[in-house]
Amino acid sequence: MLRRTLDALCCKLDGRAAAAKTARRKRAAFNEVLNTAVEKGYFAENPLNGLRWNAPAVNEEVDPAAVPNPAQVARLLAAVAQQRGRGPHLETFFGCIYYVAMRPAEVIHLRLEQCHLPETGCASAYGTTWARARKSVLTRMELASGLARRPYDLRHAGISFWLYSGVDPAECARRAGQSIEVLFRHYAKFLDGVREQANRLIEQSMQEWDRVSQGAAPAG
């Protein structure tokens, strides 16, 4: 029964697998509930003690099909800005997610002296605004593919574009606020282009070194 409960904690409400860190957080909370039950006399000891259990492996790679390119992001942000009410404010909100690769919660908690935010919170309505923007500017094929289905896909789009542009992965990880290990795990499919670009740079450097070794003047 305990193993089935722990396995259930690894799923979202829609039945899909949750991220590994989400599963660990839920397990820790469940453990604290059982500890409280022991303190109140419901259990003689915590039944999780001594239980060997590992969370199921989860594929955390970002799906390239869900990541919009810069032109598609521009269309989406323009569609957000054109919506009445919160639209202009949420354009900035979504822009921060894309251009700075911030998490939605990080954008919501930006300090007032750092940027201009609406006087009332925007967290509860941004999903609806984003859905309207997608429907108004994306083609039927783009919608069906799941392109930019979630606002969080803007963060993936920003980071993947940095990688595509040749920014060092370590710098991408620093800007995104995550470890280089997490970057490699999530964006493995986007790193192929970075490797190809690195190979070209190495080959160019080797060719330049051969030219200089043979007595030719350095290029440039």
Residue 33 vs residue 189, higher pLDDT: 33
Q: How far apart are CA 45 and CA 32, in angstroms?
A: 12
In 3D, which of 57, 5, 43 has the Cα closest to residue 26?
5
**Least confident stretch, 55-59, 93-97, 112-116:** 112-116
Neighbour count for residue 27 (Cβ, 10 Å) = 17
* DSSP annotation string for 110-131: --TTTS---SS--TTTHHHHHH
Amino acid at 42: Y
**Least confident stretch, 8-12, 30-34, 115-119, 151-155:** 115-119
Looking at residue 220, what is its pLDDT?
A: 56
How many residues would you count in the chain?
220
Q: How far apart are CA 32 and CA 110, in angstroms?
A: 31
Looking at residue 120, what is its pLDDT?
A: 58
Quick one: average pLDDT of 37-49?
89
Q: How far apart are CA 212 and CA 199, in angstroms?
A: 20
Neighbour count for residue 49 (Cβ, 10 Å) = 10
In 3D, which of 144, 152, 146 has the Cα closest to residue 127?
152
Confidence of residue 199 (pLDDT cuts 50, 70, 90): confident
Tokens of 10: 């690894």
